[in-house]
């Protein structure tokens, strides 16, 4: 008979209890818990794709607006697109506040948490996760280094980008069915990659079209300023038989939002507008309206020197 006395600790443990080891949850190093790198990339692509929807819409809308030449339609569509973008931002803020997810992250079943696994606050996400890297990336010259370093840090063991390190956050899986999430990811990848190719093609069309539309709008301002002076100039010629000698005689407004100056040449009978110097195809260019005495009409054309490209002129001004 064994008379060995058991300690209180040994008495509390059943001899039939299977051996076990303590489980310590460590989100920062647990690769099973951390969201995959490709899943995070795909979620970001989804978020980017959602914000590109207005650009896709514009690529189809701009030609329609230009053909109708209706400012009301342009304003209405612009307001609708602004509301759409604001709605996306609000939805993302709500999702981030509740679950630490954007629309893309929710679709891919991943979320942002603190490194200890606790809920992450919206203010931390905005002011520590988004804002610092945005400011750093905007620094001239060296900003590109921060913009490159931020995503590359995901390849470290903890899979934490620069914005994660600053905000003390990680991105973890938030799904119960791995198979369904993988299926969703495959479907999204198959759908979104061709979509981005299409967007690239549309952007190549839409961006120049939008740029042309804006340049034509700037030239249109010069046309509006001229139209007011034209009425006065016609009246002056009809009553005096002479071309006006100064801008004041025709009430000519000599500048505008995009027009740097408008001058009247009484010797050669023309009015010429010079666009403001800026980084655009019409910056610093000129537009001229010449009065033909024999025909009692005006001829619109590119100015001299440095005339506006003919494609930005109204159809009535093109040769």
21-78 tens-digit pLDDT = 443 344 444 455 898 898 898 888 888 888 877 777 776 666 666 555 556 677 777 7
- Residues 157 and 253 occupy one common structural domain: no
Query: Do residue 140 and residue 234 come from a single domain?
Result: no
- In a domain, residue 161? The reply is yes
81 shares its domain with 169: yes
Range of the domain at 78: 37-175
Whether residue 268 sits in one domain with residue 166? no
In a domain, 130, yes or no: yes
Nearest to 224 by CA among 194, 198, 255: 255
- Same domain (yes/no): 295, 171: no
Structure tokens at 220: 């249109």
Asked if residue 5 is part of any domain, the answer here is no
> Cβ-count burial of 297 within 10 angstroms (0-12 exposed, 13-18 middle, 19+ buried)?
exposed
Q: Which of 156, 175, 194 is the last residue of a domain?
A: 175
Please check whether residues 62 and 157 belong to one and the same domain.
yes
CATH number of 308's domain: 3.30.700.10
**Residue 146 within a domain:** yes
- Per-residue model confidence (pLDDT) at position 25: 43
Of the ranges 78-87, 166-175, 205-214, the best mean pLDDT one: 166-175
**Burial letters 277-294, b for 16+ CB under 10 A, else e:** eeebbbeebbbbbbbeee
* Higher pLDDT pick, 120 / 251: 120
The answer as to whether 22 is a domain residue is no
Indicate if 243 and 141 belong to the same structural domain. Answer: no
How many domains does the chain fold into? 2
> Between these two residues, 127 and 258, which has the higher pLDDT value?
127
Per-residue pLDDT, 182: 57
Comparing 63 with 84, the larger pLDDT belongs to 84
Q: What is the DSSP letter of 2?
A: -
Percent of the chain surpassing pLDDT 90: 22
Do 110 and 170 sit in the same domain of this protein? yes
- Identify whether 124 is part of a domain: yes
Report if pTM > 0.85: no
pLDDT in tens, 5-21: 555 544 444 555 555 54
Residues 155 and 106 in one domain: yes
* pLDDT of 246 strictly over 80: no
Per the domain annotation, does 308 fall within a domain? Answer: yes
Which domain-ending residue is among 144, 175, 206?
A: 175
Out of 124, 155, 175, pick the residue that ends a domain.
Answer: 175
- Pure H helices in 100-129: 103-107, 122-124
- Say whether both 155 and 45 belong to one domain: yes
Do residues 160 and 82 both lie within one domain?
yes
pLDDT grade for 195, boundaries at 50, 70 and 90: low
Report the alpha-carbon distance of residue 47 to residue 93 in Å, rounded.
13
**Sheet of 286-292, strands arranged across:** 259-265, 270-275, 286-292, 297-302
pLDDT given for residue 70 in this prediction: 59
Same domain, 87 and 147: yes
pLDDT at position 27, please? 45
pLDDT for 181 beyond 70: no
The answer to whether residue 199 is domain-embedded is no
CA 165/CA 154 separation, integer angstroms: 10
Tokens standing for residue 229: 């002076």
């Amino acid at each position: 008979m064994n008379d060995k006395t058991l300690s209180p600790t040994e008495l509390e443990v059943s001899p039939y209890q299977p051996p076990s080891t303590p489980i310590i949850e460590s989100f920062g190093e647990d690769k099973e818990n951390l969201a995959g790198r490709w899943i995070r990339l795909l979620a970001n692509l989804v978020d980017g794709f959602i914000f590109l929807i207005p650009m896709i819409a514009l690529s189809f809308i701009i030609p329609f607006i230009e053909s109708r030449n209706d400012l009301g339609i342009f304003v209405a569509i612009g307001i609708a697109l602004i509301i759409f973008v604001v709605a996306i931002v609000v939805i993302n803020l709500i999702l981030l506040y509740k679950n630490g997810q954007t629309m893309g992250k929710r679709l891919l079943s991943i979320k942002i948490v603190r490194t200890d696994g606790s809920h992450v606050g919206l203010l931390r996400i905005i002011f520590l996760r988004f804002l610092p890297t945005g400011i750093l990336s905007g620094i001239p010259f060296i900003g590109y280094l921060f913009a490159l370093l931020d995503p590359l840090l995901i390849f470290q063991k903890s899979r934490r980008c620069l914005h994660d390190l600053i905000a003390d956050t990680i991105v973890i899986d938030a799904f119960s069915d791995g198979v369904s999430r993988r299926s969703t990811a495959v479907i999204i990848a198959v759908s979104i990659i061709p979509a981005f190719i299409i967007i690239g093609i549309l952007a190549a069309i839409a961006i120049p079209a939008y740029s042309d539309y804006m340049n034509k709008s700037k030239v249109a301002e010069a046309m509006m300023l001229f139209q007011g002076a034209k009425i006065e100039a016609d009246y002056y010629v009809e009553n005096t038989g002479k071309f006006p000698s100064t801008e004041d005689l025709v009430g000519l407004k000599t500048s505008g939002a995009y027009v740097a100056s408008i001058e009247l040449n009484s010797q050669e009978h023309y009015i010429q507008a010079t666009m403001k110097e800026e980084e655009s195809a019409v910056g610093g260019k000129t537009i001229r309206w010449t009065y033909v005495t024999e025909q009692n009409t005006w001829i619109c054309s590119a100015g001299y020197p440095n005339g506006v490209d003919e494609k930005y002129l109204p159809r009535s001004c093109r040769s």
